[in-house]
Amino acid sequence: MPAKQSIAEYYQQYGRERPAASQFTVYRMEDVATPDSFPHVRRDFYKIKLLCNAQGMLSYADRSVAVQQCALIFVNPLIPYAWERKAGRETGFSCLFTEEFITQQLKTASVADSPLFRVGGTPVVFPPPEAMPRLNWLFEQLLAEMQSSYANKYDLLRNYVQLLIHEAIRLAPAAAAGSSRTAAVRLSEQFLELLDRQFPLASPLHTLPLKNANEFARQLAVHTNHLNKALKETTGKTTTEHIAHKLVAEAQALLRQSNWSIAEIGYCLGFEHAPNFNSFFKKHTGQPPNQYRKQPVLLS
């Protein structure tokens, strides 16, 4: 199984100090020392990169793409990818953001079908020269906004990210539509859409209708092993791992943003007994939920 790189490990790899509020960051590629290659791993964050002046091979899932010109590249936590530089010195921009940065508003119907969010999509777009000024301008706006003191800057950053995604859809409509949707890709997309529709939880009285791999497989009218095999093939993660990832993300949001008790949060997420929820949360985050809730939220 491919390794998984956290956002903290990414900052360490490039010798960069992780900012206090690290749900979003953006930088110029020429400002960092990039390695000639990095291994085939999944990340626990999203990335949009405008890569220029370097040639190499980009591998993702079970496919490879030769990069010979400027490329707009999308990376999401579902798909492992690797890069091997053959020539040139990388220039351009890169922005990283976590699941915390993603909102339902960002995942509108059209954007959700983009290379950034889709399993089986084509996450590489080769912009023509006439598109480069606008793409460069959008990244420059991201850089400028990250340095601002505007109270709602993260909302504005999401708007610029959404514009970048729309540019990719406009530049490569065939790729965005997906021309090689295998049965495994279709099943994976159906599962991920079904999983995503369960969140966010709106009330302590609202419990998850589907809580485990068997229940999801039954809803999709497939065998549990078949669903698991399709997800492993397309995303590198099991059904249980996908469910756990969403449960942890929702638990973190509720601990920070609601006044629900820990027992109520656990029960809504499918844990009848609070100790089981506590153990699950600590296993995946390294700390118990009461400790996570007490931590201050850092904003830049």
Per-residue pLDDT in tens (0 to 9) along the chain, 300 residues: 345 555 566 555 555 555 545 689 999 998 887 666 555 555 678 899 999 998 999 887 667 889 989 999 998 877 777 888 888 888 999 999 988 888 766 766 566 667 666 766 678 899 999 999 999 999 999 999 999 999 999 999 999 999 999 999 888 764 444 444 678 888 998 899 889 888 888 888 888 989 999 999 999 889 999 999 999 988 889 999 999 999 999 999 999 889 999 999 999 999 999 999 999 999 999 999 999 998 875 544
For the chain, where do the domains classified as CATH 1.10.10.60 start and end?
Answer: 183-294
Per CATH, the architecture of 4-177 is what? Sandwich (2.60)
Topology, domain 183-294: Arc Repressor Mutant, subunit A (1.10.10)
What's residue 226's pLDDT? 95
The secondary structure element, H or E, covering residue 159 is: helix 153-171
218: nearest Cα among 206, 229, 207, 210: 210
Distance between CA atoms of 87 and 36, rounded to whole angstroms? Answer: 9
What's residue 234's pLDDT? 87
How many beta carbons lie within 10 A of that of residue 273, not counting itself?
11
Report in angstroms the alpha-carbon separations of 30 from 85, 86, 94, 133, 199: 15, 17, 10, 18, 39
| Structure tokens given for 223 | 């065998």
**Backbone dihedral region for residue 31 (phi beyond 0: left; psi -120 to 50: alpha; all else: beta):** alpha
**Backbone dihedral region for residue 53 (phi beyond 0: left; psi -120 to 50: alpha; all else: beta):** left
How many beta carbons lie within 10 A of that of residue 139, not counting itself?
21
Q: By the 8 A CB rule, do 131 and 167 touch? A: yes
What's residue 190's pLDDT? 87
* pTM to 2 decimal places: 0.63
Distance between CA atoms of 95 and 26, rounded to whole angstroms? Answer: 4
Residue 156 CB burial class (10 angstroms; 0-12, 13-18, ≥19): middle
For the chain, where do the domains classified as CATH 2.60.120.280 start and end?
Answer: 4-177
Distance between CA atoms of 60 and 42, rounded to whole angstroms? Answer: 10
Radius of gyration of the chain (CA): 20
What's residue 297's pLDDT? 59
How many beta carbons lie within 10 A of that of residue 165, not counting itself?
24
175-206 per-residue burial string, b: 16 or more CB within 10 A, e: under 16: bbebeeeeebbebbbbbbeebeebeebeebee
What's residue 52's pLDDT? 95
